[in-house]
Amino acid sequence: MASQSLVSFLLFLSFSPLLISVIAEHDFVRPIDRKVLGLKKQKLSHFRFYWHDILSGEKPTSVPVVTPPINSTTGFGLVNMIDNPLTLGPELNSTVVGRAQGFYASASQSEIGLMMAMNFAFMEGKYNGSTITVLGRNPVFNKVREMPVIGGSGLFRFARGYAEARTHWWSAASGDATVEYNVYVMHY
């Protein structure tokens, strides 16, 4: 009996590092039932709105924070911070449903290609207070540009999808632009 106890104790000691590592892993990460977070069945939503990038006038919504260090035809190195209105229609006085907040940077030396990092922060309806996050490449003179939706907050936790941008209007003189966004989002 004593020898069986000793063997059992020695076996326990030999496996204890394995047991400790398994316990330690579970302290760091653990599976969780999505219902605990209130996540139900995933759905696909389509949002359509207009993004107004206003560089001119007394109250611009897009301001340069870094100017290009070299003279470049593409503006390579330019960074603008944005707080652009999102409206239901293409007119600036149309109903505002949210704001696009973030920045864009000229990231190409060969064309006008922007790196966009922004949150669509909604202020209307059931999505008030929720955001959709977009991060991607925007070659602005392409007819349609596609950028990934990489997440969100509020009703868009765990969101994924894509945003299509189409220039509706652009002024070469002022730099102001109105862009139609169609955003397709998988969310709970």
**Per-residue pLDDT at 25 exceeds 60:** no
Q: What is the DSSP-derived secondary structure letter of residue 36?
A: G
Phi, then psi, of 6 in degrees rounded to 5 = -65, -45
DSSP 38-97: T--S-EEEEEEEEEEE--SSSS-SEEEEE--SS--TT-TT-EEEEEEEEESSSSTTSPEE
**Per-residue pLDDT at 21 exceeds 60:** no
Residue-level pLDDT at 5 = 64
pLDDT tens, position by position, 99-122: 999 999 999 999 999 999 999 999
What is the reported pTM?
Answer: 0.82
Amino acid 89 reads G
Rg of the Cα trace of the chain?
Answer: 25
CB-count exposure of residue 108 (10 Å: 0-12, 13-18, 19+): middle
pLDDT tens, position by position, 49-96: 999 999 999 999 999 999 998 888 999 999 999 999 999 999 999 999
Residue-level pLDDT at 128 = 98
**Per-residue pLDDT at 11 exceeds 80:** no
Residue-level pLDDT at 97 = 98
